[in-house]
Structure formats: structure tokens, C-alpha cells
Structure 1
Amino acid sequence: MAGRSPDAPARPIGVRRGAAMLRAHLAGAGPALAAVLALSAVDAAAGLAQPLLVHRLIDAVGAGAAIRGIVALLAGTIVLAAIAGAGQQYLLGRTAETMVRSLRHTLIGHLLTLPMAAYRRHRVGDLVSRVGADTAAVRAALTGGVVDAVGGALVILGAGIAMFLLDRLLLAVAVGVLALAVAVVLAAGARIRELARRVQESTGEMAAGVTRALGGMPLIRAAGAADAEIAAVRGAADRAWAASLRSVRLQALLWPASGIAVQLAFLSVLGLGGARVAAGALTVADLVAFLMFLFMLMMPVGAVFGAISTIAAALGALTRIGEVLDAPAEDAADRPRPGAAPDFSGAAPAVSFEEVTFTHDGAAAPALDRVSFTAEAGAVTAIVGPSGAGKSTLLELIERFAEPDSGVIRVGGADLRDLDRARLRAAIGYVDQAATAVSGTVAGNLTLGLDGVDEGRQRAALAEVNLLGRVEAHPDGLAAEIGEGGVALSGGERQRLALARCLLADRPLLLLDEPTAALDSRNERALREAIAASARRRSVLIVAHRLATVADADRIIVLDQGRVAGVGDHAGLLAGNALYRELARDQLLG
């Protein structure tokens, strides 16, 4: 499936495509929208009836007839218009909120299925802004722009018909003046949409700056960079302000256009109409009614002009939302083979690479270059090498966080391309290099993706990695909050929590990326024992720098500059592999 990354430029979305995007999110809203249209028609009809009733009132006063009934009808139309207006605002507001909820559900669901590379290329705060601020702009267009445009159009249509019946010549003069204002507003619509898109982008940039600063606060303060970060975020806020000010300035110039146009039309009609009354071609009552209809146009014409601005802003927001929704999901091109599943019984290697090459986006040289090796089932396979050799990339390819340029990767004898991603990942326990944790509790992180895990099993997993004492020392125990990204934990505690989660999941293949890097010797020993015990029941691939972590591995793969530089056990590589000997001697392994 073709698509673009969410940070790639997208063509602006017009009214037709914008309506098509929202149609799916308005499913089931037909009756409510029909009621809104009906109430808009009632509101418009009640308003249009008022000049006609005034016309009759003037005639009745002139003829000395009773006016009580006419006054009662006039009051009734005013009340009816108010009730209809309130009803349509409520129904449209409820429909808009439901539509935005559906749009956010879709947007969030798609955001969380993008390829991993998309998250690395794009700023998190900007993506969050699209879910929040951009969808709010769409809601404003539906609750304000659409109802104003529809209601205003109905009033304009009705008033136009009534004015046509009263005097065609005066109508032609009024339309000629108003048409100039409409042309100006329509011409400005594209500019407003572009400015609105810039406002949303600047808002997203500001949100990204705040997210970046809050996420790196310890580093920022330690580096004495707080003032620079504040200036950077304020700069983004200033750009959002400047873009908003340009939009406000343009809209401020357009808003009086409706009033000026109606007033010019009024003066033209008054002059010509007075002459026609003097000539006997028009009655005073007809002229008064015509002028009332003309004044009635001031509000709806202004509303339509305002609606054009609001809708243009929403189209700018929809363009940014569309950039995300048009980006392909990570499994968009997958064609899993029905029934394909990895076999970890030992009949096939747990993992095998066959001439695998992979290049990161924008990189000049491949991170992995024709890599081939096997990791046997039920064994511990260690991957070592200098920094930048491609060790972590190997694990990411096994998890299908990225796709190789060429070659074949097999897990449990099955080609990764034949496997459903969810089924593949359900067979793998993965601890990344950062030992990532999510905001929430210890228990929430420990059981992430797992159902029905009782506290006894959770405590047993924590005990295996020597973390139970630390958790039980906290007053809230398993319910203790660990903060955004696990900031309440040390690096070593995050690593142990991540490994405990893998052990609790009890999956047949473990991928561990430097799981002991932040541990002291006592906790490292406990973790090595947990890994060794785990290896009796499952296959383990472990990336490590410490000699103690890899010395007992069944097989060691040595990587250098993206290529396999040696394969063997610890003793054999010490004796026969110069790079491994150098790594061991320089303690890059330990």
C-alpha cells in the first residue's frame, strides 16, 4: 500500500476531500443531521416571516385594522426562532463531539501502528498535537462553521426569494454590491487555510519542544541548558503567535466586509427605492419590508463569511491529520502465509540470518552487510562487537521493527515474511537497550500485554531478578507509580523490571539488548542466574559488552562494521579471533 510518512509534505485538503474524510466518522449521525437541517429551516423561516409580518402590521395600522393577532404571530416567530436555534446548536454540538471522538479513535489507532522509523523521524509532541489541537479545529468547523453556513445560506435564499417577489430591480442592485464582498472572501479562503495549517504546525512544534524539554529535564539541568530550552520553546510559541496573528488580521479585515457590503447595498436600495416610491412603482410597505430583508442579510452573510474562515482553518488541520492517516501502517505490505508459525521444539534453529543486509534511512553505508548466522533452539547465543557494529539492529530486525534490504530471516524455521507480526511478537520476549518503561505502576509495566497474572506470579518474577525487596519496601508495593518513562526507577531497576516482564510472559524466544549494562556486580550476577535458568526452557539471544555476561554462552557471534567477524564459544574465540581477544583485553566486554 502506497503512502507517505507523517512528516512528509501533503497536498492541501479541499472541501470535497475533507468532507469525504469525515463522512466515515459521521456514521449513524444521519437522523441528528437531518434534525439540524430541519431546525435550521424552521429558524430561517421564523426569521424570514418577521419582515412579512411587519409589512402586514404597517398595512394594518394604516388601514386602522386590528393588530393584536399580527403582534402575537410576530412574538411567536421570535420565540420559535430561539427554540429552533438552541435545538440545532445542541444536536450539532453532540454530533460534533461524537465525530471528533471517532476521528481521534481512528487517528490514535493508526498512530500506534506506524513503522518504528516514523517515530524516530517525527517529534512526539507534534503527533500528539494532531490528536488534540487539530481535531479540536475540525470540531469547531462543524459546530460553528457548518451550522452558520447552512443556516446563513437558508436565510439568504429565503430573503432573496422574498426580495425577488417584492422588487427585482432593487434585488439586482443589492446582489451586485454583495457579490463583490463574496468574491473577496472566497479569494481569501485559500490564504486562510494555508495560514491555519501554519498555525497548527507551529502549535505542534511548540508541543514537541515542551515534550522534548520535559523528557530530558535531568540532562538539561545538568548541562545548564534550561535557559536555551526555554528560549527554544518560547521561539516556537512566538512562531505560533505570529502565524495566528496573520490569520486573525486577515479574518479581521474580512469580517467588516459583510457589514460594509450590506450597508452599501442598503444605501443603494434606499436611494433607488425612494425614487421608485416617489414614482409610484413601489409602496412604502414594500420598501420597508425589502429593507428589513436586506438588514436580515447582515447577520447570515457575516456568519457565512466567518464560516468560510472556520472551515478553511479546519481544512488546514485536516491536512495535517491526513498526513498521518495516509502514512502506511507497518504491516500494510505484509502477506502472511495462513498457518505459518515458528517452531521452537528444536527441529529448526531458533533464529537464522541468511545473507541479510540492512541500511538505516539516510545512512550511506549498511548497518548489516550480508550477515549470516544461526542461533540454536534451547541455547544462549551472545552477540558482541564494538559500538556501532549492528548488534541492536539484529534484534530489531527479528522483532520486525524494520525490514531488511535483502536476505532472509527465520525464526523457529519460519520466514519472518510469512508470519503474522502479532503472532511473531507473541513468541518473543524483548528487552531493548534503554529498558523502556511506560508511565504507570510497577504492576502495570510488569503485566503489559498480559492478562490474568496474579500478584503471586508477579512477585515471583520480581524475585528472580532481585527486585522484589525494592518494590515491597515502597508503601504502595506493586501499585507504586514509576513516573513518565520510569523516571522513579534507576537504570538498573528498569532493566530488571523489563527482564522480569519477559520472564513473566514466558515466551519461547528472549531477545536481550545489554540487559546488565546498568547493574552492579551483585545484581548482574542475579540477572545472569535468571537468564541461565530461563535458557533451560527457552532460546536466548543476548547483546552484551560485559565478558561475564557472554562467557558462558553456548555460541558467540562477533560483529564488526555490520559483518560477522567470528563465531564460536568463549575459549575458541579467545584463542582464534583477534577482535574478540582485543575486546576481552580492553574490557569492552567487561
Structure 2
Amino acid sequence: MLKLFRSLKPFWLLILFTFVLVFLQSMSDLYLPTLMSDIVDKGIIEGDIPYIWKIGSFMLAVALGGAICSIAASYLSAKVAGGFGRSMRSRVFQHVQNFSLQEFDKLGTASLITRTTNDIAQTQQVLTMMLRMMISAPMMCIGGIIMAVSKDAKLSLIIVVIVPVLAGSIALIAGMGMPLFKAMQVKLDKLNRVLRENLTGIRVIRSFNRIQHEQERFKEANYDLTSTAVRVNKIMAAMMPIMMIVMNLSTIAIVWFGGLRIRDGHMQVGDLMAFIQYAMQIMFSLIMVSMVFVMVPRASASAARINEVLSITPDIDDPLVAQSSEEGRGYLEFRDVTFSYPGAEQPALSGISFTAKPGETTAIIGGTGSGKSTLLSLIPRFYDVAEGSVLVDGVDVREMTQEELRAKIGFVPQKALLFTGTIADNIRYGKKDATDEEIREAADIAQATEFIMNMKDGFESEIAQGGNNVSGGQKQRLSIARALVRRPEIYAFDDSFSALDFKTDAKLRSALKPVTRDATVLLVAQRVSTVMDADRIIVLDEGRIAGIGTHRELMETSDVYREIVSSQLSEEEIA
């Protein structure tokens, strides 16, 4: 947790003011019992009414000053904690943005969401308490002991017995709670994962009548978290009764032995009343410490999880000295590329070598799991190759900045993804300064204008989260328009026409030809009809190239390609 709190440097001035205010509030609280003692011993017992008014007015002023300091300290501590939470969320988010897909797979989306929200909220809450109590609790405890001893040293022996009992109880309870708090955060991850899968997969769940099954999964995860929370709260709930028992027994002891001291003339009534209050302040300060101890175990578990994210060094990073490629070309080359997913027994791609030139369309086809999408993911460096190299305009992609590399690529993923906002916003995502004319032109080429204009507000129509208010084919066309609007050097279409009917597919590919005349086009597809007219077709089989050539050449040389073609086309179409 201390590692995270190093991020508090920008707030040092506010923290200093908070500590000063808390110090003044603590001094006020410590001074009030002494003033009360004077009123009783010198005012009430001696019947000195003016003295009572004088000291009473001073007490009110001190109490009012303490209240003002308390309110101001609460405001500043909340401001510091809120600023810390904001900066930590930004820091984690920006760090995660640099992760490769490999790091995302390792931690999991649900866990990253929990760490960015719940875990940071836990540390923020503890920080608020610590800013208030880090100065206040020790001061009240030490100051209370000093003031109690000044009133009666022998009676203070009771406090010597009380403090170790309370401190030991707090340490024991906190020690029992720490492992359970850590377990709670892991179980919260699991609950979030189940909930996220349920919400995103609701169509599949309903179509297969698995609602009851998912309810059981959620119930199990929810019960697991709840039972752990109940266990830890039972442990922590024991703290307050222990505190109250010790406080009440100590009060009885102080009154009993204090009464004997007063009887023997060693102590005055006012001093006894002040002593009781100082004893209460000492014990309340320990209760404040215990409250921090209740929160610290969970917060430290959360802090460890946040540090785990921040300590991960992304596998993919920009080179210290980046090389720049020539502008406006888009020449792509794979040189003996091999790639394996973490933990996989066999490489996903092995010995891949080919070139793709501007003005040409290179299609990639193969069976399920042959490595088509993986190959495309290596170009924008979603993953880095294990062996060999991927070159864009003669420069290894690992020697270019990610921003420069990706600015050259218009990528359309296999699963079309849209963002909350208008249709125009989603297309403009490909080029932030795109004009309305450029957006409309991109939509025309992507065969999206017709359905867009049939919507209520046209290009200003709202897209729901995940694009759930448009069909799969419409999402694909908007994704294609998003790539087209940036006019990249390299177009990478990852099975981006699968949801389109044959007529729309043909019209879209026809409209793409003049636009992509000077660009390199890579096209992953399942349909033979989509790749037949490509300048070059690469056939993948189990991560290896099983053939390269035109449709006619592959029909004569590649058994794998002939098998794919015969499974999709009739003999007349093949002929």
C-alpha cells in the first residue's frame, strides 16, 4: 500500500494542511477535560459563578475551534483521497491501454475492471481514514496518557493494564481478518466474471434454455462471496463488544479507585472527572486505530492487486530509437514468421513467408483454427512474433512506434465492435478530424448509407452499447466504413464480410477496388467466392502455408484449396 501512496506527492500541501488541522482538533479535545476539571474544582465546589462563566465561555470557544478544524480536515482529506483515486484510475487505465492481448488474457477483463473500480475505491476509503486518524489517534492516545498521569500517576496504572489488552485484541482480530479480506477480492473477481458472461451472452443463454444453469452459477459465486463476507464481518464484529467491555470495566475501576483517592485527599472530584475523560479518549483512540485495522487488511489486499497490474511490463513496447518507414507505400512482408500463444503445445503459425504489395489484394483462406486471424493480428502488433519478422515498408514492425505503425493500417476485426455514440462518431473513430463528406463517402463504399438514412436521425442516430440496436451485417458495414475513412496504406479485413449477403458482398468488394487501388489489401475470408478474384491467395493449414497463388493456380497445385472449393461450390461454378 505504501508503494501506491507514493502517488500522493502532488497533494503534499493539502496533506500538510490536513495534518495541521487534525493536530489543532486533537489539542482542542485534549484541553477540554482540563478546563472542565477547573470548572468543577474551582467554580462549582467553591461557588465561584463568574469563574464558571469565564472558563465555560472559553470551553465553548475551544470546542467551536475544534469543530471548525474537524470539518476542514474532513473536507481536505476527502479532497486528497478523491484526487488520489482519480489519478490512480487514470494511471491504471493508461497502463492497461499499453497491454498486449497476451496480458489481457493473463489477468482477465473482469479482474481488470474490479481492480480499476472496487480495489481503488477500497484504498481511497482507507486513505481518507488514515489522513484523519494517522495524527489524531496517536496524539489522543499519547496526549491522553500524559494528561491522565498529570492528574494522578498512581491511578494511571489502570491505563497501563488496559492499553495492552486492547492492543492485543485489535492485533488478533486484524490477523484473523487479513486472509479473508484477500479471499473476498478474488471471489469478487469471480462474481464479476460470471455476471459479465451472463449479460454479454444473454442471447446464447436464452436460445439454449440455460437460464437456470446460469442462475445456479451466479448463486454459487454470490454465496461464496457472501459466506466469506459474513465470516470476516463476524470476526470484525467481535471488536466493538470487546472494546465496550474493556471500556466499561476500566471506567468502573477508575471510579472505584478514584473514589478511594478522593476519600484519602489525594485527588479532587474535577480531576477524577477529567481522568475518566482522558481514559475514554485513550480508548477511543485505540478504537479509531482498530477501525483503520478493519479497513487496512482489505485495502492492502486491494493495493497488492493494483500494484500487480502496474508492475506488469507490457511485452509489446515502443523501441527506444524508432525507425520511420517511407510514407504512402504499404509494402508488407512476412519473413519466416513463427508464433505461439502462451502455454500452447504447438505454434499457431510456423514458417510463414510472403509479400503483399500496394495495389494488390492478398486473400487468406483456410480451415477453422488454421491461423488466419492470428496472422492478421501480427501486423498491427497485437502480438509479437516468436521467430522471424513482419516488415512494413522494409522496416520491422518492432522497430516502429505503435502509433506510427497503426496509423498505416485500417483494421476491421472479425467481431464487429461499435461504441456508444452516434453513427457519425463511430465512423469518425477511424479519423478524428474526418469531415461529414468523408464520413458519407466511407458509408457509401461500405454499402451502409441506405440503412443509415432509414434510421430516424440518419448519421446522428444513436448506437447502443456494443451496437445492440443494429444487426450483425450493419455492424460489419459500419466497421468497414470506420477503416475506410482513414484511407490507410494497408487494409486488413478479418473475415469482415461474413454477415453480408452475397449481393451486398459483391457490391461492397466492387466499390472497394477504386478506393484501395494504391493500398495493400489483406482479406481473411471463409467464402471462396470472396477470395476468388484476389491477386494472390494464401492457403493456411494448421498454421503453415499450404499454397500461394491465384485461384486457377491453386486449383491445379493445392489439394487443401481444392477441398475448400469443392465443399462450397458446385461443379458448374468451379468450372
Which residue of structure 2 lines up, in the alignment, with residue 255 of structure 1? 240
Q: CA deviation at 1:417?
A: 1.6
Q: In the alignment, which residue of structure 1 is the partner of 2:537?
A: 556
Alignment pair present for 1:341 and 2:331? no
Q: Are 1:136 and 2:117 an aligned pair?
A: no
How far apart are 1:533 and its partner, in Å?
A: 2.3
Deviation at 1:145, TM superposition (A): 4.3
Contact 1:173 1:265 in 2 (8 A): yes
Contact 1:149–1:303 (8 Å) recurs in 2: no
Task: Tell me the amino acid that sits aligned with residue 49 of structure 1.
Answer: Y
**Superposition pairs of residues 403-552 of structure 1, within 5 angstroms:** 403-552=384-533
- Correspondent of 2:162 among 166, 171, 177: 177
Amino acid across the alignment from 1:105: S
**Residue 173 of structure 1: CA displacement?**
2.9
| CA–CA separation in structure 1 for the residues paired with 2:381 and 2:236 | 49
Q: Deviations over 1:403-436 (max 9, x none)?
A: 1111111111111121111110110111111122
The residue matched to 2:485 in structure 1 has which SS?
Answer: helix
Determine whether 1:147 maps to 2:132.
Answer: yes
Distance 2:146 2:262 in 1: 21
Aligned position for 1:294: 279
Match of 1:566 in 2: 547
256-265 vs 218-227, which moves further = 256-265
In structure 2, how many angstroms separate the alpha carbons of the residues matched to 1:81 and 1:554? 82
Q: Aligned partners of 2:541 and 2:386: how far apart in 1?
A: 19
Shift of 1:31: 2.4
Aligned-pair CA distance for 1:278: 4.1
Matched ranges for 1:261-276 at <5 A:
261-276=246-261
Q: 1:480 to 1:120 in 2, by over 3 A?
A: farther
Secondary structure (helix, strand or coil) at the match of 1:451 reads coil
Match of 1:106 in 2: 91
Determine helix, strand or coil for the equivalent of 2:325: coil
Question: Secondary structure in 1 aligned to 2:346?
Answer: coil
CA distance in 2, matches of 1:588, 1:20: 63
- Deviation of 1:525 after TM superposition, in Å, equals 0.6
For the residues of structure 1 that align with 2:503 and 2:156, how far apart are their CA atoms?
91
Tell me which residue corresponds to 1:56. 38
Q: CA deviation at 1:479?
A: 1.9
> Cα distance, 1:342 vs. partner?
5.2
* Counterpart residue number, 2:182: 197
In the alignment, the residues of structure 2 paired with residue 39 and residue 483 of structure 1 have an alpha-carbon distance, to the nearest angstrom, of: 49
Residue identity in the other structure for 1:27 = K
Q: Which residue in 1 is equivalent to 2:4?
A: 21
2:138 aligned with 1:156: no
Instruction: Give the C-alpha shift of residue 461 in structure 1.
Output: 0.9
Q: Give the aligned partner of residue 15 of structure 2.
A: 33
Question: Given that residues 146 and 307 in structure 1 are in contact (C-alpha distance below 8 angstroms), is that contact kept between their aligned partners in structure 2?
Answer: no
1:97 aligns with 2:82: yes
Asked whether the 8 Å contact 2:333–2:355 carries over to 1, the reply is yes
Q: 1:588: how far off?
A: 8.2
| Aligned pairs for 1:355-434 within 5 A | 355-434=336-415
Aligned counterparts of 1:136 and 1:93: Cα–Cα separation in 2? 12
d(CA) in 2 for partners of 1:143 and 1:308?
A: 13
1:107-165 Cα offsets, whole Å, 9 max, x none, are 11122221112333444333222222222212221223441343222211211111122
Please state how far the C-alpha of 1:57 moved relative to its aligned partner: 1.3
**Residues of 2 paired with 1:356 and 1:588: CA distance?**
32
Deviates more, 1:218-227 or 1:116-125: 116-125
Higher mean displacement: 387-396 or 54-63: 54-63
Q: Determine if contact 1:545/1:588 at 8 Å carries over to the other structure.
A: no
SS in 1 for 2:421: coil
Matched ranges for 1:324-335 at <5 A: 324-332=309-317, 334-335=318-319
Which sections of structure 2, spanning at least 5 residues, go unmatched? none
Displacement after TM superposition at 1:401 (Å): 0.8
Percent identity between matched residues is 29
In structure 2, the residue matched to 1:10 is: none
Is residue 245 of structure 1 aligned with residue 226 of structure 2? no
- 1:191 to 1:110, Cα distance in 2 relative to 1, 3 A: farther
Q: Secondary structure of 1:178's partner?
A: helix
Q: TM-score, normalised by structure 1?
A: 0.91
Tell me, yes or no, if the aligned pair for 1:47 and 1:81 is still in contact at 8 Å. yes
336-345 vs 61-70, greater mean Cα deviation:
336-345
CA contact (8 A) 2:430 2:482 kept: no
Question: Partners of 2:531 and 2:560 in 1: how far apart?
Answer: 15
Distance, in Å, in 2 between the alignment partners of 1:488 and 1:67 is 75
- Could you say if the C-alpha distance between residues 390 and 535 of structure 1 is closer, same or farther in structure 2, counting changes exceeding 3 Å? same
Distance 1:343 1:82, change over 3 A: closer
- Give, in whole Å, the separation in 2 of the partners of 1:515 and 1:30: 52
Q: Distance in 1 between matches of 2:562 and 2:123?
A: 62
The aligned residue for residue 74 of structure 1 is 59
- Output the CA distance in 1 between the equivalents of 2:465 and 2:104: 18
Distance 1:588 1:373, change over 3 A: farther
Counterpart of 2:37 in 1: which secondary structure?
A: helix
Instruction: Letter of the 2:308 partner, please give it.
Output: E
Local SS of the residue matching 1:355: strand
- Bigger drift between 379-388 and 307-316 goes to 307-316
Contact 1:336 1:417 in 2 (8 A): no
Shift of 1:39: 1.6
CA 1:330–1:439: 2 relative to 1, 3 Å:
farther
1:528 to partner: Cα distance = 1.2
Aligned to 1:319: 304
When the two chains are superposed, the root-mean-square deviation of aligned CA atoms in Å is 2.1
1:71-103 C-alpha deviation (Å, 9 max, x unpaired):
212222222222221121111112211111111
The amino acid that maps onto 2:540 is: L
- Contact residue 145 and residue 308 of structure 1 kept, 8 A: no
| TM-score, length basis structure 2 | 0.93
Distance in 1 of aligned mates of 2:370 and 2:445: 31
Structure 1 residue 175 displacement after superposition: 2.3
